[in-house]
Amino acid sequence: MGEGMRASVLFVCLGNICRSPLAEGAFRAEAARLGLDVTVDSAGTGGWHAGDPPDPRSVAVARRNGVDISGQRARKVAKDDFRTFTHIYALDHDNLEGLRAVAPRDATAEIGLLLDLVRGDEGRAVADPYYGDDAGFDVTWRDVTMAAKALAKRLASEGWK
């Protein structure tokens, strides 16, 4: 599918301060480990946190797992993203529906639910830890890390660089 092409992946949640920055960080780490040359970013379907860094609890859980996401800044999904990225993954059903609703007719990106990449977790959303305690961020990290490993393995097996 991607034979010789460079993959580019966008992870999307609601505000782009908790789940999608964690997915971005986990995937960057796994792609680097496998030697994939891939463009990676994250965004939100809502723009009210635009320019903000990730939630401190997201930064902390990523750091505990050897990944630095502190330099990321929230942004809202843009129409061009649907042509710029080869793959766009929503972290839950509402955001998947939102992405499909705003995708332009000439969108070229593959759009899907992130945990559909993980055998046994298909159809399941990555839980939003924002209103919970720190333990919820550990669960989110576990989920996005499993998906990041599955995605990197898939891209490598499909011939993406």
Tokens describing residue 22: 């964690």
HEC secondary structure over 110-155: EEEEHHHHCCCCCCCCCCCCCCCCHHHHHHHHHHHHHHHHHHHHHH
Which residue numbers are catalytic? 13, 19, 128
Could you tell me if 65 and 141 are in contact, meaning their C-beta atoms sit under 8 angstroms apart? yes
